[in-house]
A and B are shown apart, each in its own frame.
Chain A
Amino acid sequence: MRFAQEQGSGPHAVVVGTAGDPRVAGYQAARVRAGLPRAALLDYRELIADPDGAAARIAAPADVRIESPGRNAEVLAGLLARGIETSAALGLHHLRAGEIEPRVGERGRLIPPRQLYFGMESVLGALARRARACGTPNGIRLVPDVDAILLAFDKSACHRRLAASGVPVPAALSDIDSFDAMHEAMRAARMPRVFIKLRHGSAAAGTVALATSAFGMQAVTTVDMVSDAAGVRLYNTRALRRYTAPADIARLVDALAPHGLHVEAWIPKASVDGRTADLRVLVVAGEPVFRVLRKSRHPITNLHLGGERGDADALVSRMSATAVVALESTCRAVARAFPGALQLGIDVAVACGLARHYVLEVNAFGDLLKGITTRDGLDAYDVQLRAMERAA
């Protein structure tokens, strides 16, 4: 099929996503509510099978919305396969062709996030080439553009970009490739509490909140370590694990390190209703639209790890007017650092004391916020369609 529409003039709509994924369904439903025809779906499986061929079937002019590939096993395996070449060329840890399917099929097993990132880079690159080839005007507009997606998926690159844009971010330790190197860098930087993240990870996979002091170490993590004669295997766990033995923590960090680490200071987060809390702010077309509070009994607040949603006002109303203005200004600055993104989900920690805040993560696909609407009843997709209309 060709991704073009018969009726009407102007650019036609394409969504790159995975059939059956709630993001695609949410977007299509919003189009229907807006009286727009459903967007043609370019499924990741087609894009993975033949990136340039699939991209070539998009006829200009088109608005192409790029969605997250989601968690579909076939799609993940395809992206990992597309990530082999770059991983191998750079000499980086990766799964070989025969190892991918069993790994993706193993429940909870950590999937190499950098290989996935390279896979995304590879298949989305075809869309970027197609868009460039069509030129402007009346070309192909990718929303978000591929640079924005890749920037958001590389936490170290994103951290550098944000810091350079004057956005408050936690101080980071660079080039950490082992526990020993990290421990030394923590001492040198006077950073006794850190968040260790997989540089290309998502959904808090491979995240460790590590506190050290003269009295010992404590690590709270989403990783379950299974060690045997064959080595250490890493699994994602929703019931957070705690490690206190330095040898265990060293083994954990050393097992995560080959995947690529991003290590930054652990910002002591403010609390709401007796829980540790942070904010997910959705910006659309540069403006904050939703603020969702995430509350947890753990330092890692993701909702699938036991965090609960809450009313952001419970936190924001306790902040000074200056601090609230600064927070909004930060969100706008993040948006400016991602000129190719229509929307961004920005995770912000408001530090204990409620005066300062820090951007923890930027999510290119951060708009899947079920049940969250504006006062006018618009969900994240409705808001984005209206923003597109205004921009047109």
Chain B
Amino acid sequence: MGVDANLTSLHGYDVVDFEEGEPLPDPSQSAVRLALEYDGPFDDFSDLWPAFMESAGVEQTEALVIGMWANPEDGGQDSSEETVALLVASADRLPKLRALFFGDITQEENEISWIVQSDVSALWGAFPELEEFGIRGGQNLQLGRIKHAKLKTLKVEAGGLPANVVREISAADLPALEHLEIWLGTVNYGGDSQPQDLAPILNGTRFPKLVTLALRNCEWADELAAAVAAAPILGRIKRLDLSMGTLTDAGVDALVASPAVRGLEHIDIAHHYVSPAGVAKLTALGIEVNAANRREAESYNDEEHRYIAVSE
């Protein structure tokens, strides 16, 4: 399965597609989405970007969504390197940018595992006012040394997120971070991280203002749940999101055995393999639980298979 929908909102802004020759939407209400389209007016992102940058009022932009940067006619397989460079080179003309999503690409446009990212680390210094940054696609992704004084929300979405990227996030210097979301993915698509790659996050030494920890789309969700249950971070956050993964009763048992889990306000396990009895253990904690989309393991050749929500 893949990502089904383009973003309709980002950081409270409605997402509006850029149309050349049309006035930009109200920057206090809307995020502009820039994407190459099938049969669209631009064949190259390097032509689309200047068209946006020449629009009246572009310097007022507060929120920006970057979709397909690669030409769909080439299979969308060009890396994001050139597009990152375009954004960075224009950064002084986007001084108010508070929210950026980089890679709003659905399975109709390209498979998540076929999105080719690049080293995006120059974005951290280029946009000092960013409060939210999201990115999709793990292939070739490098976040580099993440250091940002104002970033409150970081989302990294992948069908398989390489361990080195997870370690880059774990090492991030983000004193204002409140919401951290990582899609760990499957090893089949390069998601080779392990619990120890998250250790600096879980041991609570990072992200002093963290409220929401979302470790989603994880193929080793039970192990992850056990690691989170035993981790100091659980006592500091209000919302835990282990959705889109392969969580079973074993993971739930580890969670409910932790006294700290009762301090949460909300736990999300949507898309899970937990029995109704297991879900009942969570709801008995008296906190808000989202346990939508219960899945059944599939059996072939006497082996049980459980799938994460987004992989290919």
Q: A residues touching B (Cβ–Cβ < 8 Å)?
A: 190-193, 211-216, 218, 242, 244, 265-276, 297, 299, 320, 351-356
**Interface: B86 (CB within 8 A):** no
A271 engages B111 (CB within 8 Å): no
**Most chain B CB neighbours (cut-off 10 Å) among A191, A193, A352:** A352
From B4, B76, B312, A244 is in contact (CB under 8 Å) with B312
A376 to chain B, nearest CB (A): 32
Compute how far the CA of A276 lies from the CA of B113 in the bound complex, rounded to whole angstroms.
Answer: 18
A265 engages B77 (CB within 8 Å): no
Closest to A189 in B: B73
A193 engages B5 (CB within 8 Å): no
Residues of chain B contacted by A216 (CB below 8 angstroms): 114
In the complex, chain B residues 82-118 whose Cβ is within 8 Å of any chain A Cβ: 106-111, 113-114
Compute how far the CA of A190 lies from the CA of B67 in the bound complex, rounded to whole angstroms.
Answer: 20
B111 engages A356 (CB within 8 Å): no
Compute how far the CA of A211 lies from the CA of B108 in the bound complex, rounded to whole angstroms.
Answer: 9
**Most chain A CB neighbours (cut-off 10 Å) among B6, B22, B139:** B6
Closest to A186 in B: B75
Residues of chain B contacted by A276 (CB below 8 angstroms): 4-5, 106-108
Please report the total number of B residues contacting A with Cβ < 8 Å.
30
B39 engages A356 (CB within 8 Å): yes
B141 to chain A, nearest CB (A): 15
Residues of chain B contacted by A266 (CB below 8 angstroms): 108
Compute how far the CA of A216 lies from the CA of B156 in the bound complex, rounded to whole angstroms.
Answer: 23
B244 to chain A, nearest CB (A): 13
From B17, B67, B72, A355 is in contact (CB under 8 Å) with B17
What are 25 of the A-B contact pairs (CB < 8 Å)?
Answer: A190-B74, A193-B72, A211-B110, A211-B111, A212-B75, A213-B111, A215-B114, A215-B139, A216-B114, A218-B111, A265-B38, A268-B38, A271-B4, A271-B5, A271-B6, A275-B4, A275-B5, A276-B4, A276-B108, A297-B1, A352-B6, A352-B35, A353-B37, A355-B37, A356-B38
Compute how far the CA of A351 lies from the CA of B106 in the bound complex, rounded to whole angstroms.
Answer: 12
B294 to chain A, nearest CB (A): 16
A297 engages B4 (CB within 8 Å): yes
Compute how far the CA of A270 lies from the CA of B37 in the bound complex, rounded to whole angstroms.
Answer: 11
B45 to chain A, nearest CB (A): 14
Compute how far the CA of A191 lies from the CA of B75 in the bound complex, rounded to whole angstroms.
Answer: 8
Compute how far the CA of A244 lies from the CA of B39 in the bound complex, rounded to whole angstroms.
Answer: 27
Residues of chain A contacted by B110 (CB below 8 angstroms): 211, 213
**Interface: B19 (CB within 8 A):** yes
Residues of chain B contacted by A190 (CB below 8 angstroms): 73-74
Against A, the Cβ 8 Å flags (1 = close, 0 = not) of B63-77 are 000011000111111
Residues of chain A contacted by B67 (CB below 8 angstroms): 352
Compute how far the CA of A312 lies from the CA of B233 in the bound complex, rounded to whole angstroms.
Answer: 45
